[in-house]
Amino acid sequence: MKIGSNDACWCGSQKKYKKCHMAFDDRIKTICMANHKIISPDIEMIKTKEQLDGIRKAGEINTIILDTVEAHVKEGVSTGELNRIVEEKTRELGGIPAPLNYEGYPKSVCISINDVVCHGIPDEKTILRSGDIVNVDCTTIYNGYYGDASRMYMIGDVDPRAKELVEVTKFALEEAVRLAQPWTPMGDFAHRIFEISVEHGFSVVQNIGGHGCGVDFHEDPWVAHIGVPGTGHLIVPGMSFTIEPMINLGGPENYTDEDDGWTVRTEDGSLSAQWEHHLIITENGNEIISR
Ligand code: MF3
Ligand code: CO
Ligand code: CO
């Protein structure tokens, strides 16, 4: 269905289309016409100002929760204890931990140690030990909106190659954020993550990606962490998505634990690191709304 230039804009602004998103849509069309490997974003991927304000606030709260739990990430603490801290802080701030009961997930945070790629389930028996590398992944629902981010920690004395993995994964994310610019395709930043990873002899997990995020936990588009420059979804102002590369010391293959249905481990037992930022795309660049 085509909107006439004097019809109301699809974004709900009540303005005429020609005074609102018409030039924006034309710009998308022109880019996608010139390069058929660039995919046009769907309307649901472009958030209203009101939605963006809500998502920003949820992101801020999520970052506070990560800061709070961070102070307790130390040798000897159980992941169950860290889960309790996330749960309590989230409720205190008036939020809801998004993981809890999400598709049957049993806890309020994901904590992934060493060869666990992601979705590690916290429990009282799992204790952080010197030498561990650990990802803490928090997602918060606040006033109906979602903020999602994760960080890595190195516990005590960590092997130099493990440290390199953690630091390179962080650098790969920072580079991806730098390249996640409006009017460029996602393949540009995805390729950069892959390139950095290869330079260090690491591999990038391919079957799990980032995602649109904000009005729901996991929205379109799916965000790949490997890719070809000049291809993939076009990034445009108003989008809200995560970039969350998982990089392995060995091969990229991984499997999900059959017993708990969640824990993802590297096939070869090698270490895996992940950092996640939640971004909003603006007219001139991006904002990291949770980190
Ligand atoms: N926070 C994770 C992500 O970055 C998703 C966790 S889903 C859960 O997408 F159910 F395991 F919590
Ligand atoms: Co996350
Ligand atoms: Co995410």
Ligand 1 pocket mutation, candidates 65, 86, 108, 148, criterion most atoms within 8 A of CB: 148
Mean pLDDT of the chain: 98
Which atom of ligand 1 is found nearest the CA of 107?
Answer: 12
Under 8 Å between Cβ of 111 and 123: no
Whether 147 is in the pocket of ligand 1, judged by its Cβ within 6 Å, is no
In this prediction, residues 11-28 reach a mean pLDDT of: 96
Ligand 1 within 6 A of 276 CB?
A: yes
The pLDDT of residue 2: 84
**pLDDT tens readout for residues 27-82:** 999 999 999 999 999 999 999 999 999 999 999 999 999 999 999 999 999 999 99
Q: Has residue 208 got a pLDDT over 90?
A: yes
Q: Which residues contact 163 (CB under 8 A, 6 or more apart)?
A: 154
Residue 242 Cα to ligand 3 middle (Å): 6
Helices (H), the chain: 22-34, 49-70, 79-92, 160-179, 186-199
pLDDT in tens, 89-107: 999 999 999 999 999 999 9
**pLDDT band at 1; cut points 50, 70, 90:** confident
pTM listed for this prediction = 0.98
Q: What is the pLDDT of residue 82?
A: 99
Listed residue (154, 129, 165, 122) closest to 270, CA to CA: 165
Question: In b/e form, how buried is each residue of 106-125, taking b as 16+ CB within 10 angstroms?
Answer: ebbbbbbbbbbbbbbbbeee
Is any atom of ligand 1 closer than 6 Å to the C-beta of 139? yes
Q: 137 in ligand 1 pocket by Cβ < 6 Å?
A: yes
Q: What is the CA(14)–ligand 1 centre distance, in A? A: 36
**What percentage of the chain has pLDDT greater than the value 90?**
99
Say if ligand 1 is within 6 A of residue 132 CB. no
Nearest CA to ligand 1 atom 11: 119
pLDDT of residue 84: 98
Q: Which atom of ligand 1 is nearest to the CA of 244?
A: 4
Residue 45: CB atoms within 10 A of its CB come to: 21
Place of tokens 């799990």: 208
pLDDT tens digit sequence for 132-189:
999 999 999 999 999 999 999 999 999 999 999 999 999 999 999 999 999 999 999 9
| Residue nearest to ligand 1 atom 10, measured at CA | 99
Q: Is 101 in the pocket of ligand 1 (CB under 6 A)?
A: no
A 10 A CB-CB count for 19 gives 12
- Residue-wise pLDDT for 225-280, tens only, equals 999 999 999 999 999 999 999 999 999 999 999 999 999 999 999 999 999 999 99
- Ligand 1: does its nearest atom lie under 6 Å from the Cβ of 151? no
Q: Compute the distance from residue 4 Cα to the ligand 3 centre, in Å.
A: 37
